[in-house]
C-alpha cells in the first residue's frame, strides 16, 4: 500500500485562502482556509457540525447553494475551480472528482432503479453502448460487495437497506475512476457493524482506483483508520494539522486535545467521569 | 399490498363513492321540502295537474324504489326524460359533453404547458427577481375569477381589436365538413380565460413541488455525478415532483369543469353548463339530476385515474415495502 | 419581501371590510335610485367610477356589494369550520376507522365543488343567497376537516399532549384545552384561503343569477349587468371584477403571510 504523498509533484488539490459567505447578510462561515492534497493521498477533515467542513467540501464540488459566495482559490489538477459556472463544473463532477454523502437513505432517486442511476454516471462521462454499460454496472456493484448485483441493479432504492444503498453510492462515486473522492461522513448514518464494513470497502476501493480522498468526519477514530494526515477545523478555520500519529500523540490546540481524549475512552480509568471536549476547550462565542 | 389488490381497493372505493354521490343527488332533488311536481309546475298550480304529473313521474312509488329505478336506468345509459320536451336526457347531454370536454381538456393541456416551466423557473430562481416575478404573477392570476378574465379578454380582443368573436361556438365538423379554423377561433378566448386561472394555481403547486426536490439529497447526488442544475432537475426532479403535481392536476380538472360551466355562460357556448343552467331555470329537475350526476361521475373518474396514475409514477406504492 | 405580502393582504382585506361598514351609513349616491337621464356615464365627476345602465352610481353599488361579499364569506367559512374542524380533530385524535370514515366522506364531498352543489340546491329549493352560502359552506367542510386532522396528528405527538393524557385528562378536555389552541393558527390560514374561495364561488353564482338577494346586487351580478353594455361601455365591467380580484388577492396574501409565520412543523399541515 502506497500511502505517501508524492514529493515534489504538484498537489492534486490546492485550496488557498478559501472564504465562503452566505446570503444577503454575507455571513462568513469559512474564514480563509488553505490546505493541499497530493495525488493518492488521504486527508481527514475533522470538526463538529457547523464547523464548516461540509461547506468546504461542497465548495470544492461546486455544489453550494446559489446564495453562497466563494472567494480565494481551489485548484484541481492545476485548474482553477472558483468562478467556474455550473456548465463548466458539471463535466468534472463524477469524472475527475466525486462525492459520497452522509445519508444513504435519501441520496438515491426513489423513482429509478439503482442500476440505471449508476449507469447514468457512466454514460454521462464515457461513450459506451447501452449493453456494455449494463455489464460494467453489474461488475462494479459486485466489486463494492453487493451480493446478487444483477438483482440489486433492477431494485428501487426503497427495497435496499442503508448499507446496500451506501455501497451503491460508493459505486456511483468510483465507477469513472476519479482522481479525487470526497467522503462526507459516509458511515455516520449506518449501524456500527455496517460502518466497519463500509469503511473497509472504501479503503480497498480507493486503493484499487488510486484516488485521493478528502474524508470528512466528526470522529477522530474513524479518520485514523483511513487517513494518514488530518486537518482539524473549528468555527470555519483550520486550527491544527499534521499526521494522524502527530495529532493523536501530541495535539497542540486545546480543542484537538479534547477530541483526542474523547476518542480514547479506553484510556479512562473505570469509575472516572468520561471526558468531554469542553473540559479542554471552552467556547467563548456561544451565546 | 400487491398491485392487483391496490387497484381492486381503489375500484371498490370508486364504486362506493359513486353510489353515495348518486344517493345524495337523488335525495337533494327528491326529498328536500317541497314536492318535485309542485316545484316543476310552480306553487300556484292547480292540484289536478300536480296529481297528474306525480303519476307521470312515478312519484307515487316509494323513494327507495324510485332511486333504484333511476340507478338501474343509468347503468343502461338511461338518465330519464325531460319533463318539458319529453326528450331523453342522455340524448340532450351527449353532444354537449363533447363541447365541454373540448373546453376542459384543451385548457388543462395548455395550463400544464404554461405552469410547468413557469413553476420550475419560480423554484430554481426562487432567490432572485425572476422567481419573485413568476410567483407574483401566479398569485395575481389565481385571484381573478375565470369569468372576469373572460369578460376582459372580450373587451380587449373582440370589442377593442376585433381579432376574435365575442361569443358563440362552432363544431369541429359541421355537416360532414371540417371547420378547424372557426372551431379554434371560437375557443381561443374561453380557453384563455380558463388557462389564466388554472395555470396560476398549477404553477404554485409546481413551484413548491420542485422546491422540495431541490432540497432533496438525491438532487445533490445527481449534480455530484455530473448533471448540470437544469438537467438534474429534468432527469431526477420531474418524476418526483410529478407525484404531487399529478394530484393537483386531478383536483384541478374538477374545478376546471366547474369553471367551464361559468365560462360557457360568458361566451354563450352550448355545453353541459348551459344545458344545466337552463334546466335549472326551467325547473326541469329530471334533467338537472341527470346532468349533475354526469358531472359528478366525471369528477370521480378523474379522481380514480389520478389515484391509479400514482402507481405508475411512484415505485414505492407498487408492492414491495409500503412507504 | 414576505412581510410586504402579509401587509398588502391585511390592507386589502381591511379595505373590503371598511367598504362594507361605510356603506351601512353612507354612500356617495343612493345605490337603489334609478336615474334614466344619467345612464352609462364614464368615470369622472361627480360619478367617480361612472354610472351603470340604470343610471346608478357604480361606486355606491360597489360599496354596498362589499356587504354581500363579507356576509357570504363569513357565514360560509363559519359553517365549514363548524362542520369540518370537529370532524378533523376527532379523526386526528382517535385515528383508526374513525379517521378512515372521515377521510372517505371528505373524498366524496370533494366530488361536489361548491358551484355544483349550489346549482343542485338552487334547483331543489330555489336560488337565494342562503342556498349559495349553505352550498359553499358544505363544499368547504372537507378542506377544514383535512387540515384539522393533519394538524391534530402533528400536535398529538407533542410531549405536552402525552403529559396531559398520562395525567388522566379526558379526551374531550384534551381536545378543547390543548389541541384546539395549538391548531388554531393553521385553521386561521385555512379560513383565509376558504374565504377567498367562497368569494369566488359567490361571485360566480351571482353572475349566473343563482344568488340574487335583491335589492342589493352583489359584485358578480354587477359584472353580469355590465356585460350587457360591453360594446357601448366596456370600462364598466372593469370595476366589479377588480373588486372581486383584489378581495381574493388580499385573502390569499393574508393566508400565505400567516403560514410563513407559523411553526415550521405545523406549516406542513396548512
pLDDT of residue B311: 77
Grid cell in block for residue B207: 413551484
Chain B partners within 8 Å of A67 (Cβ): 127
Residue C46: is the preceding peptide bond cis (ω within 30°)? yes
Q: Find the domain containing A284 and state its range.
A: 251-287
Whether residue A33 lies inside any domain: the answer is: yes
| Mean pLDDT of the region C216-239 | 83
Instruction: Tell me, yes or no, if B148 comes closer than 8 A to chain C by beta carbon.
Output: yes
Sheet holding A97-100, edge to edge: A97-100, A180-184, A212-217, A42-46, A229-234, A237-243
Segment among B61-70, B119-128, C164-173, C187-196 with least mean pLDDT: C164-173
Question: Chain B: nearest CA to C99, how far in angstroms?
Answer: 15
Average pLDDT value for chain B: 85
Q: Nearest Cα to C248, choosing from C8, C4, C1? A: C8
CA–CA separation, C26 vs C21, rounded Å?
Answer: 9
CA distances in angstroms from A286 to A238, A279, B283, listed in the order given: 19, 15, 75
Q: Nearest Cα to C106, choosing from A202, B13, A192? A: B13
Choose from B217, B221, B233 for mutation: most chain A CBs within 10 A: B221
**Above 70 in pLDDT, residue A284?**
no
**Above 90 in pLDDT, residue C247?**
yes
Is there a single domain that holds both residue A205 and residue A264? no
* Residue ranges of domains in chain B: 3-75, 94-317
Q: ipTM score here?
A: 0.84
Confidence of residue A286 (pLDDT cuts 50, 70, 90): very low
Is there a single domain that holds both residue A285 and residue A221? no
pLDDT of residue B107: 94
Q: Which residues are within 8 A (CB) of B77 and not within 5 positions of it... i.e. 6 or more apart?
A: B90
- Which chains would you list as touching B if contact means 3+ CB atom pairs under 8 Å? A, C
**Contact (CB, 8 A) for C189 and C81:** no
Q: SS in 3 state form for B158-170?
A: HHHCCCCCCCCCC
Confidence of residue A1 (pLDDT cuts 50, 70, 90): very low
Closest CB to B147 among C204, C231, C238? C204
Q: Nearest Cα to C61, choosing from C202, C175, C199, C220? A: C220
Is there a single domain that holds both residue A192 and residue A101? yes
For residue A86, give the H/E element and its range: helix A86-89
CA–CA separation, B161 vs B279, rounded Å?
Answer: 35
Name the residue of chain B whose CA is nearest to C2's CA: B132
pLDDT of residue C268: 67
Is there a single domain that holds both residue A64 and residue A98? yes
CA angle B74, B80, B82 (to 5 degrees): 150
Split into its structural domains, chain A has a count of 2
**Contact (CB, 8 A) for A25 and A1:** no
- pTM equals 0.80
CA–CA separation, C121 vs C131, rounded Å?
Answer: 6
Between chain B and chain C, how many beta carbons pairs sit less than 8 Å apart? 130
**Contact (CB, 8 A) for C243 and C9:** no
Instruction: Tell me, yes or no, if C64 comes closer than 8 A to chain B by beta carbon.
Output: no
CA–CA separation, B263 vs B76, rounded Å?
Answer: 31
Q: What is the pLDDT of residues C118-148, one digit of tens each?
A: 999 888 888 888 888 999 999 999 999 999 9
Closest CB to A111 among B223, B228, B239? B239
**Contact (CB, 8 A) for C131 and B46:** no
Name the residue of chain B whose CA is nearest to C123's CA: B280
C116 contacts B292? CB cut-off 8 A: yes
How far out from the chain centre does Cα B277 lie?
A: 17
CA–CA separation, B147 vs C208, rounded Å?
Answer: 10
Choose from B225, B241, B316 for mutation: most chain A CBs within 10 A: B225
CA–CA separation, B159 vs C228, rounded Å?
Answer: 13
CA distances in angstroms from B226 to A125, B61, B68, B183, B219, listed in the order given: 8, 73, 63, 48, 11
Is there a single domain that holds both residue A19 and residue A100? yes
CA–CA separation, A247 vs B134, rounded Å?
Answer: 53
Closest CB to C249 among B139, B255, B285? B139
Whether residue A146 lies inside any domain: the answer is: no
CA–CA separation, A206 vs A200, rounded Å?
Answer: 10
Segment among B31-35, B55-59, C116-120, C199-203 with least mean pLDDT: B31-35
CA–CA separation, C193 vs C251, rounded Å?
Answer: 6
Is there a single domain that holds both residue A239 and residue A259? no
Strand partners, A42: A213
- What SS3 state is found at C171? helix
Q: Which residue has the cell 488557498?
A: A16
B34 contacts C124? CB cut-off 8 A: yes
Instruction: Tell me, yes or no, if C133 comes closer than 8 A to chain B by beta carbon.
Output: no
Helical packing angle, C129-139 and C141-156, nearest 10°: 30
Whether residue A102 lies inside any domain: the answer is: yes
**Contact (CB, 8 A) for B237 and B214:** yes
Instruction: Tell me, yes or no, if B130 comes closer than 8 A to chain A by beta carbon.
Output: no
Q: What is the pLDDT of residues A73-106, one digit of tens each?
A: 999 988 999 988 888 999 999 899 999 988 888 8
**Above 90 in pLDDT, residue A282?**
no
Comparing A195 with B172, the larger pLDDT belongs to A195
**Above 80 in pLDDT, residue C179?**
yes
DSSP 8-state secondary structure symbol assigned to residue A274: P
Q: What is the pLDDT of residues C77-117, one digit of tens each?
A: 999 999 999 999 999 888 888 888 888 888 888 778 888 99
CA distances in angstroms from B297 to A210, B39, B300, C244, listed in the order given: 64, 26, 5, 31
A99 contacts B240? CB cut-off 8 A: no
**Above 80 in pLDDT, residue B238?**
yes
Between chain A and chain B, how many beta carbons pairs sit less than 8 Å apart? 84
Q: What is the pLDDT of residues A51-81, one digit of tens each?
A: 889 999 999 999 888 888 899 999 998 899 9
Grid cell in block for residue A222: 474513524
Q: Which residue has the cell 473549528?
A: A234
**Contact (CB, 8 A) for B278 and C209:** no
CA–CA separation, B293 vs B25, rounded Å?
Answer: 7
Which residues does A contribute to its contact with B (CB < 8 Å)?
A: 61, 63, 66-67, 86-87, 90-95, 98-99, 101, 103, 106-112, 120-121, 124-125, 156, 158-159, 169, 172-173
CA angle A59, A63, A69 (to 5 degrees): 55
A172 contacts B225? CB cut-off 8 A: yes
B320 contacts A90? CB cut-off 8 A: no
Instruction: Report the percentage of chain C scoring pLDDT > 90.
Output: 26
Give the total residue count for chain C. Answer: 270
The CATH number of the structural domain formed by B94-317 is: 1.10.3720.10
Closest CB to B159 among C112, C220, C231? C231
C230 contacts B143? CB cut-off 8 A: no
For residue A70, give the H/E element and its range: strand A68-76
Average pLDDT value for chain A: 86
Whether residue A48 lies inside any domain: the answer is: yes
Instruction: Tell me, yes or no, if B143 comes closer than 8 A to chain A by beta carbon.
Output: no
pLDDT of residue A179: 93
Chain C partners within 8 Å of B262 (Cβ): 115, 204, 207-208
Domains of chain C with CATH codes? 2-31+49-269 (1.10.3720.10)
- Which chains would you list as touching A if contact means 3+ CB atom pairs under 8 Å? B
Residues 25-44 of B with CB under 8 A from C: 25, 28-29, 32-34, 39
Is there a single domain that holds both residue A184 and residue A286? no
CATH number at A196 reads 3.40.50.300
**Above 80 in pLDDT, residue B145?**
yes
Instruction: Tell me, yes or no, if C231 comes closer than 8 A to chain B by beta carbon.
Output: yes
Chain A partners within 8 Å of B213 (Cβ): none
Exposed, middle or buried by CB within 10 Å (0-12, 13-18, 19+), for A68? middle
Confidence of residue A265 (pLDDT cuts 50, 70, 90): low
Amino acid at each position: 500500500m502506497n500511502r505517501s504523498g508524492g514529493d515534489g509533484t504538484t498537489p492534486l488539490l490546492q485550496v488557498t485562502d478559501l472564504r465562503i459567505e452566505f446570503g444577503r447578510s454575507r455571513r462568513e462561515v469559512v474564514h480563509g482556509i488553505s490546505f493541499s492534497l497530493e495525488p493518492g493521498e488521504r486527508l481527514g477533515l475533522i470538526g463538529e457540525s457547523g464547523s464548516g467542513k461540509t461547506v468546504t467540501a461542497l465548495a470544492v464540488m461546486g455544489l453550494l447553494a446559489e446564495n453562497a459566495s466563494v472567494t480565494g482559490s481551489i485548484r484541481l489538477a492545476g485548474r482553477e475551480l472558483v468562478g467556474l459556472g455550473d456548465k463548466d463544473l458539471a463535466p468534472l463532477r463524477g469524472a475527475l472528482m466525486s462525492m459520497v454523502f452522509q445519508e444513504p437513505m435519501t441520496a438515491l432517486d426513489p423513482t429509478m432503479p439503482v442500476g440505471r442511476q449508476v449507469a447514468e454516471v457512466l454514460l454521462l462521462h464515457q461513450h459506451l453502448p447501452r449493453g456494455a454499460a449494463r455489464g460494467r454496472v453489474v461488475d462494479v456493484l459486485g466489486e463494492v460487495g453487493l451480493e446478487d448485483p444483477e438483482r440489486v441493479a433492477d431494485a428501487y432504492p426503497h427495497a435496499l437497506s442503508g448499507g446496500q444503498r451506501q455501497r451503491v453510492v460508493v459505486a456511483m462515486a468510483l465507477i469513472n475512476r476519479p482522481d479525487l473522492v470526497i467522503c462526507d461522513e459516509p458511515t455516520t448514518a449506518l449501524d456500527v457493524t455496517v460502518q466497519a464494513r463500509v469503511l473497509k470497502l472504501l479503503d480497498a476501493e480507493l486503493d484499487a482506483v488510486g484516488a485521493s480522498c478528502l474524508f470528512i468526519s466528526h470522529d477522530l477514530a474513524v479518520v485514523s483508520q483511513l487517513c494518514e494526515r488530518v486537518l482539524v477545523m473549528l468555527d470555519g478555520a483550520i486550527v491544527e494539522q499534521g499526521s494522524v500519529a502527530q495529532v493523536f500523540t501530541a495535539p497542540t490546540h486545546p480543542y484537538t486535545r479534547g477530541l483526542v481524549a474523547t476518542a480514547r475512552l479506553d484510556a479512562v480509568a473505570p469509575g472516572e467521569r468520561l471526558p468531554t471536549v469542553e473540559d479542554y476547550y471552552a467556547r467563548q462565542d456561544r451565546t | 399490498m400487491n398491485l392487483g389488490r391496490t387497484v381492486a381497493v381503489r375500484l371498490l372505493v370508486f364504486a362506493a363513492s359513486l353510489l353515495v354521490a348518486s344517493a345524495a343527488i337523488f335525495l337533494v332533488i327528491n326529498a328536500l321540502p317541497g314536492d318535485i311536481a309542485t316545484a316543476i309546475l310552480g306553487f300556484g298550480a292547480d292540484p289536478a295537474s300536480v296529481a297528474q304529473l306525480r303519476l307521470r313521474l312515478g312519484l307515487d312509488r316509494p323513494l327507495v324504489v324510485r332511486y333504484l329505478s333511476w340507478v338501474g336506468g343509468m347503468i343502461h345509459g338511461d338518465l330519464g326524460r325531460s319533463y318539458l320536451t319529453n326528450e331523453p336526457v342522455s340524448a340532450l347531454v351527449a353532444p354537449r359533453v363533447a363541447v365541454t370536454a373540448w373546453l376542459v381538456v384543451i385548457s388543462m393541456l395548455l395550463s400544464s404547458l404554461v405552469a410547468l416551466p413557469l413553476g420550475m423557473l419560480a423554484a430554481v430562481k426562487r432567490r432572485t427577481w425572476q422567481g419573485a416575478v413568476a410567483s407574483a404573477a401566479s398569485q395575481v392570476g389565481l385571484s381573478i375569477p375565470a369569468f372576469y378574465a373572460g369578460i376582459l379578454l372580450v373587451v380587449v380582443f373582440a370589442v377593442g381589436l376585433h381579432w376574435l368573436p365575442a361569443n358563440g361556438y362552432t363544431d369541429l365538423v359541421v355537416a360532414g365538413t371540417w371547420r378547424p379554423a372557426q372551431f379554434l377561433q371560437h375557443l381561443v378566448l374561453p380557453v384563455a380565460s380558463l388557462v389564466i386561472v388554472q395555470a396560476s394555481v398549477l404553477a404554485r403547486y409546481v413551484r413548491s413541488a420542485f422546491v422540495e426536490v431541490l432540497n432533496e439529497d438525491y438532487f445533490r447526488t445527481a449534480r455530484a455525478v455530473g448533471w448540470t442544475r437544469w438537467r438534474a432537475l429534468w432527469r431526477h426532479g420531474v418524476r418526483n415532483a410529478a407525484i404531487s403535481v399529478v394530484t393537483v392536476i386531478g383536483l384541478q380538472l374538477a374545478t376546471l369543469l366547474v369553471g367551464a360551466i361559468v365560462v360557457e355562460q360568458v361566451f354563450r357556448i352550448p355545453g353541459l353548463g348551459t344545458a344545466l343552467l337552463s334546466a335549472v331555470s326551467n325547473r326541469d329537475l329530471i334533467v338537472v339530476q341527470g346532468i349533475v350526476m354526469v358531472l359528478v361521475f366525471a369528477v370521480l373518474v378523474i379522481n380514480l385515474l389520478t389515484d391509479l396514475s400514482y402507481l405508475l409514477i411512484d415505485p414505492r406504492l407498487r408492492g414491495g415495502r409500503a412507504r | 419581501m414576505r412581510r410586504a405580502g402579509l401587509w398588502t393582504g391585511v390592507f386589502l382585506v381591511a379595505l373590503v371590510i371598511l367598504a362594507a361598514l361605510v356603506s351601512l351609513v353612507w354612500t356617495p349616491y343612493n345605490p337603489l335610485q334609478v336615474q334614466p337621464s344619467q345612464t352609462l356615464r364614464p368615470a369622472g365627476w361627480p360619478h367617480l367610477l361612472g354610472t351603470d345602465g340604470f343610471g346608478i352610481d357604480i361606486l355606491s353599488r360597489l360599496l354596498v356589494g362589499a356587504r354581500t361579499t363579507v356576509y357570504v364569506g363569513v357565514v360560509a367559512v363559519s359553517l365549514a369550520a363548524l362542520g369540518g374542524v370537529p370532524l378533523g380533530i376527532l379523526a386526528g385524535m382517535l385515528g383508526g376507522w374513525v379517521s378512515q370514515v372521515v377521510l372517505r366522506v371528505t373524498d366524496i364531498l370533494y366530488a361536489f365543488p361548491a358551484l355544483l352543489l349550489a346549482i343542485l340546491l338552487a334547483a331543489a329549493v330555489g336560488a337565494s343567497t342562503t342556498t349559495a352560502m349553505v352550498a359553499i359552506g358544505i363544499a368547504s367542510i372537507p378542506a377544514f376537516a383535512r387540515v384539522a386532522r393533519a394538524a391534530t396528528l402533528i400536535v398529538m405527538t407533542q410531549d405536552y399532549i402525552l403529559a396531559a393524557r398520562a395525567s388522566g385528562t379526558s379526551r374531550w378536555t384534551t381536545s378543547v384545552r390543548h389541541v384546539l389552541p395549538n391548531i388554531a393558527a393553521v385553521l386561521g390560514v385555512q379560513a383565509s384561503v376558504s374565504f377567498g374561495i367562497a368569494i369566488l364561488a359567490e361571485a360566480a353564482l351571482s353572475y349566473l343569477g343563482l344568488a340574487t338577494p335583491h335589492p342589493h346586487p352583489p359584485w358578480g351580478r354587477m359584472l353580469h349587468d355590465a356585460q350587457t353594455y360591453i360594446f357601448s361601455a366596456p370600462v364598466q365591467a372593469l370595476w366589479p371584477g377588480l373588486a372581486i380580484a383584489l378581495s381574493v388577492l388580499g385573502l390569499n396574501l393574508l393566508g400565505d403571510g400567516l403560514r410563513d409565520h407559523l411553526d415550521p412543523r405545523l406549516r406542513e399541515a396548512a
